[in-house]
Structure 1
Amino acid sequence: MATKNTTFTMNESFPMNAWYAVAWDVELKHALLPRTICNKALVLYRKLDGTAVALEDACWHRLLPLSKGNLRGDTVVCGYHGLEYNNEGQCTYMPSQETINPSACVRSYPIVEKYRFVWVWMGDPALADTRKIPDMHWNSDPEWAGDGKMIEVKCNYRLVVDNLMDLTHETFVHSESIGDRNVAEAPFDVHYDDKTATVTRWMRGIKPPPFWHRQLNKKLKFDGLVDRWQIIKFEAPCTVNIDVGVAITNTGAPQGDRSQGVNGYVLNTITPSTNQTCYYFWAFSRNYNLKDQSNTTELKDGVTSIFAQDEIILEAQQKAINANPTREFYNLNIDAGAMWARRITDKLVELENQY
């Protein structure tokens, strides 16, 4: 059954009181890195001791982006008139002036590193509780191995969340790798609470698609039927972790015994940059062949190709939305997970707007 929902397409808002990934840990160096998060320009860098810093990317004096300047030790030097700022955003030097205006500062943002990502809190600093960082421990857990990338996608971040919450598109967009008709035809369950939404799909006794057939044969030489699973968990406002894998059919995978199969996690956190652009951080972690670097590289390259196909679809979708601003989305049963993800995020925005 199809239903209309006017706000489903065009709601471009995002909560500010949230942790957003701004960089992979390896991206951040002792150099100025500009990133736009939630329509706010930031400049990121590491101090000499390795500590991460996030400042407003606009000099107090004439608003030139500080990222156009340089670092002198741990001090940011504006590239226009040489004003200097410490890691807390306070101006410590003004040219030709003995007295520094006490209002001369730029905003400093709470910033932490966890699960190989660098996270920034864009809202009220007093609410920046690190326990609210979404769980992505598979990305740094020694019992799992993997890697990933960041993609700059020219679409609203919610379109990426939509894409991940409904994997029916695999059948049509990724038919040569992970997609087959079973994904589109298999039943699924949706559960939700005030912060998360989970879509669970089991495909039992099927022929594995090419990607999973290759992965299973790295652990078990097997060419028969498998049970395949996709357990997609959204955590507001923009993190989607997907428990995926295949196991030899009728060996207990649906009941929790995955020993006769291979298991991975597709880790995704999508950070709004502007209303129509986002940073898409992803990783693929596995719990088999942990020391096989070639397997890690193969998976990273394979998922890169898969997500490049999604990028084409999402950017074309955003262009179509822009060209048809009064059009509405129609929601099918397969959109249930995405609809709940949007409703949960809308509620966060609504609560913030009450204050």
Structure 2
Amino acid sequence: MTTWITDAWYVAGWDAEIDSAPLARTICGVPMVFYRKLDRSVVALRDACPHRLLPLSMGLREGDSLRCKYHGLKLGSDGVAEEMPLKSDAVNRRICAEAYVTHERHRFVWVWIGDRAKADPALIPDLWPCSAEGWTFDGGYYHVACDYRLMIDNLMDLTHETHVHAGSIGQPEILEAPIATRVEGEEVVVERWMPGIDAPPFWRGALKQPGPVDRWQVCRFLKPASVMIDVGVAPVGAGATIESHDQGVRGMVVDFMTPECETTHHYFWGMARNFDIDDPGFTARFKRQQGGVFSEDKEILEAQQRAIAANPDLKLSAYRIDEGGVRARQIIARAIAGAAREGVQP
């Protein structure tokens, strides 16, 4: 049994990553090749020529089609053979590479894993700040050598900020603030409210005024593998609450973890924000800074994965701070078990 949910949308890449040149990326254990047709729509095929299994990502683009670099079998964007290696041979349209459903939304290219008939774009997670008026959004990508669920654990427990990110967004008050965790249907929410504190360096610069602030962190897990973290600060007395907090500066950290295999994943990260939205220089600088923060997580989690492999007789422990990650894992496990009972194959 796999460790990821099938019949779900996963991020395959940023909109800027996928262009006319073939891009190879393994998604949920399946080697895939992605490219854009002349009309800019995205094609996703199994990255294996149906002839001798050479990766199609090594192939040559011809219009909207791909020609295998080994013997020249030409496949259309639907994966169906258009031309045989010997030009004199009749085209056998039963020869094909599996094609996958794709969709673009929120600056991401999504690919459906599972039954094509169930690929409803309405099921794409609602990453609303990434496309909302009055917000701007950008981010990056890391390949991370750990189980994608370890990243979910990390993002649903922001207590680690105090120690892992002490030089940027971490502060002792995070450890002192109470945590509230709840499950809403198939979503998990972890909230932390920090009233009347000094803002850490990044948020002080974003707010552009002195004085104590109220700070919030609201982590929300969405199936199959995304975490949105509502963060920000407002001046004390501005009226911000944990439920409503547009009075100061607000950001939405967007994280999507796409499994590659059991111990590696594709990590797509970014932040949408409602301040300095017309300052592209700030956007570029902040993206670089945020990438540095997430590289600290990458270092920790890859070391954790190596330690898990080196200690097969030990199991992860869960404390109260881990409840959000535990609840998210339970939702993932129930979905996988339900698919298994229905006979769905990855």
For Structure 1 versus Structure 2, the TM-score category normalised by the shorter chain is over 0.9
1:61 is aligned, of 51, 61, 67, to 51
Bigger RCO of structures 1 and 2 (CA < 8 A, at least 6 apart):
1
Output aligned runs, 1:78-117, within 5 Å.
78-96=68-86, 97-117=88-108
Structure 2 distance, partners of 1:259, 1:352, is: 40
Output aligned runs, 1:259-270, within 5 Å.
260-270=247-257
Runs of 4+, deviation exceeding 6 Å: none
Q: What is residue 7 of structure 2 aligned with on the other side?
A: 17
CA contact (8 A) 1:251 1:257 kept: no
Q: Deviations over 1:127-177 (max 9, x none)?
A: 111111001121222310131001111111111111000000000000111
Structure 2 distance, partners of 1:348, 1:187, is: 30
Instruction: Report the aligned-residue RMSD.
Output: 1.4
CA contact (8 A) 1:197 1:340 kept: yes
Structure 2 distance, partners of 1:326, 1:21, is: 34
Does residue 135 in structure 1 map to residue 126 in structure 2? Answer: yes
The one-letter code of the counterpart of 1:243 is D
Q: What is residue 325 of structure 1 aligned with on the other side?
A: 312
1:35 is aligned, of 1, 22, 25, to 25
Structure 1 distance, partners of 2:242, 2:51, is: 63
Does residue 196 in structure 1 map to residue 187 in structure 2? Answer: yes
2:173 is aligned, of 173, 182, 188, to 182
Q: What is residue 117 of structure 2 aligned with on the other side?
A: 126
Q: Deviations over 1:277-318 (max 9, x none)?
A: 111111111111221122212221211111111110011001
Measure how far apart 1:272 and its partner are. Answer: 0.4
The one-letter code of the counterpart of 1:180 is Q
Structure 2 distance, partners of 1:116, 1:146, is: 8
Gaps of 5+ in 2: none
Q: Deviations over 1:100-144 (max 9, x none)?
A: 334311100000000000000010001111111001121222310
Q: Deviations over 1:308-337 (max 9, x none)?
A: 111100110010011112211111000000
* TM-score normalised by the chain length of structure 2: 0.95
2:36 is aligned, of 46, 55, 58, to 46
Q: What is residue 304 of structure 1 aligned with on the other side?
A: 291
Percent identity among equivalent residues? 44
Structure 2 distance, partners of 1:93, 1:78, is: 11
Structure 2 distance, partners of 1:91, 1:303, is: 44
Q: What is residue 163 of structure 2 aligned with on the other side?
A: 172
* TM-score normalised by the chain length of structure 1: 0.93
Q: Deviations over 1:58-116 (max 9, x none)?
A: 01111111011111111100010000100111011112252333431110000000000
Cα distance change of structure 1 residues 68 and 105 upon mapping to structure 2, 3 Å threshold? same
Q: Secondary structure at the match of 1:58?
A: coil
Output aligned runs, 1:216-227, within 5 Å.
216-217=207-208, 221-222=209-210, 224-227=211-214
Measure how far apart 1:260 and its partner are. Answer: 4.2
Structure 2 distance, partners of 1:255, 1:81, is: 61
Structure 2 distance, partners of 1:259, 1:15, is: 34
Structure 1 distance, partners of 2:150, 2:44, is: 27
2:146 is aligned, of 151, 155, 161, to 155
